[in-house]
């Protein structure tokens, strides 16, 4: 059952009010365990504790580090949510070992490491994406995710413009940031006809993009645990990723890695992969088995249930 709790539809207040009303409704409702996701909503985790409810908080990432929240009340609110999770939650779940170490080092708080899971998908032919965007199998490099500064999209665009290749760069995803940032991204890509923006995608289009990419790129500065990376690897993609710990924990030695923010190195890696189909195929062959065995939903469900039952 999904219970809609409402919010105050005012910019800057909507998300906070939604979290407050959800915490209040869960506190007075007939629930044994209240599971709160993310640092912002965790600000209100003390409310269900007043009603003697068991509270579990999952930290998906250190959201106060994201560029969107640098400075101002938003960052302070999210940091306070992190502190409330540590202070009031019965159990805290994190998605990466690096985040687990962070909470122990900063707060001496023990947490449960329970990553995201992924299923082996159905591979789809490039039918709709060919009709809509002129894309063919193995003829494009894919970025798929939210179009926000911390995803490193500007690094990728500036690198790709210096790569000598006939491959296209497909940027798929919607913006959850400012119009100014999107204008900056579009301006950077403006003079390269190989760069294609699809906007937000889902369903068959999403599956076809994953199924037929030559290389998937995730150049992020900040991540929690990138579900899009798990999905890309589950489709058997060769992945080119930045070296932040939240990503390298996931890929191990099964992806190509460059130094975060290093546009020159990213350009070199892109050029190498565009020129080395044999190497790309080597990564493709091992990606799906590796990621689907390492991150499976049965493990995630069983571990989460064990936390609930503590």
Question: Does one domain contain both 74 and 164?
Answer: no
Those residues with Cβ within 8 angstroms of residue 55's Cβ, 6 or more apart along the chain or in another chain: 33, 34, 35, 36, 45, 48, 49, 88, 89, 90, 91
Q: In what order do the strands lie in the sheet with 112-113?
A: 33-37, 54-59, 91-94, 112-113
pLDDT of residue 68: 61
279-289 burial by CB neighbour count: b if 16+ within 10 A, else e? Answer: ebeebbeebbe
pTM comes to 0.86
Question: Does one domain contain both 235 and 139?
Answer: yes
Say if 123 falls within a structural domain.
no
Question: Does one domain contain both 105 and 153?
Answer: no
Question: Does one domain contain both 263 and 132?
Answer: yes
Q: 237 is in which domain, residue-wise?
A: 128-294
pLDDT of residue 179: 76
Say if 9 falls within a structural domain.
no
Under DSSP, the state recorded for 205 is H
Question: Does one domain contain both 237 and 304?
Answer: no
Say if 122 falls within a structural domain.
no
Question: Does one domain contain both 52 and 145?
Answer: no
Question: Does one domain contain both 140 and 109?
Answer: no
- The Cα 196–Cα 209 span in angstroms is 12
Those residues with Cβ within 8 angstroms of residue 278's Cβ, 6 or more apart along the chain or in another chain: none
Structure tokens at 209: 């993009």
Say if 175 falls within a structural domain.
yes
- The Cα 220–Cα 95 span in angstroms is 16
Say if 151 falls within a structural domain.
yes
Question: Does one domain contain both 235 and 150?
Answer: yes
Question: Does one domain contain both 178 and 224?
Answer: yes
- The answer to whether 234 touches 119, Cβ cutoff 8 Å, is yes
Say if 2 falls within a structural domain.
no
Question: Does one domain contain both 184 and 218?
Answer: yes
Radius of gyration of the chain (CA): 21
Weakly modelled stretches of the chain, pLDDT under 50: none
Question: Does one domain contain both 104 and 145?
Answer: no
Reduced to 3 states (helix: H, G, I; strand: E, B; else coil), residue 209 is helix
Q: Total domain count for the chain? A: 2
pLDDT of residue 176: 67
pLDDT of residue 7: 76
pLDDT of residue 75: 80
Say if 211 falls within a structural domain.
yes
Question: Does one domain contain both 303 and 290?
Answer: no
Say if 8 falls within a structural domain.
no
CATH of the domain at 183: 3.40.50.2000
pLDDT of residue 91: 98
């Amino acid at each position: 059952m999904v219970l809609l709790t409402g919010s105050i539809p005012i910019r800057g207040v909507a998300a906070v009010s939604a979290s407050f009303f959800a915490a209040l409704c869960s506190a007075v409702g007939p629930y044994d365990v209240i599971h709160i996701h993310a640092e912002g909503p965790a600000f209100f985790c003390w409310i269900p504790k007043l009603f003697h409810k068991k509270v579990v908080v999952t930290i998906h990432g250190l959201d106060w580090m994201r560029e969107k929240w640098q400075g101002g009340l938003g960052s302070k609110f999210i940091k306070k949510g992190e502190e409330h999770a540590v202070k009031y939650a019965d159990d805290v779940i994190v998605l990466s070992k690096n985040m687990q170490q962070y909470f122990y080092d900063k707060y001496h708080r023990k947490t449960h490491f329970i990553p995201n899971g992924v299923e082996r998908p159905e591979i789809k032919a490039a039918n709709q994406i060919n009709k809509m965007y002129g894309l063919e199998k193995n003829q494009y490099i894919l970025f798929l995710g939210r179009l926000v500064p911390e995803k490193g999209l500007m690094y990728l665009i500036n690198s790709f413009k210096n790569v000598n290749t006939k491959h296209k760069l497909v940027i798929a995803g919607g913006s959850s940031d400012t119009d100014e940032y999107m204008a900056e991204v579009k301006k950077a890509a403006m003079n390269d006809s190989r760069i294609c923006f699809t906007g937000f995608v889902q369903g068959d289009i999403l599956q076809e993009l994953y199924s037929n990419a030559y290389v998937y790129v995730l150049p992020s500065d900040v991540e929690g645990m990138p579900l899009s990376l798990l999905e890309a690897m589950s489709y058997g993609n060769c992945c080119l990723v930045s070296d932040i710990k939240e990503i390298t924990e996931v890929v191990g030695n099964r992806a190509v890695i460059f130094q975060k923010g290093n546009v020159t190195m990213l350009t070199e890696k892109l050029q190498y992969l565009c020129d080395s189909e044999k190497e790309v195929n080597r990564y493709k062959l091992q990606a799906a088995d590796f990621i689907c065995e390492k991150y499976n939903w049965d493990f995630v469900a069983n571990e989460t249930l064990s936390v609930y039952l503590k």
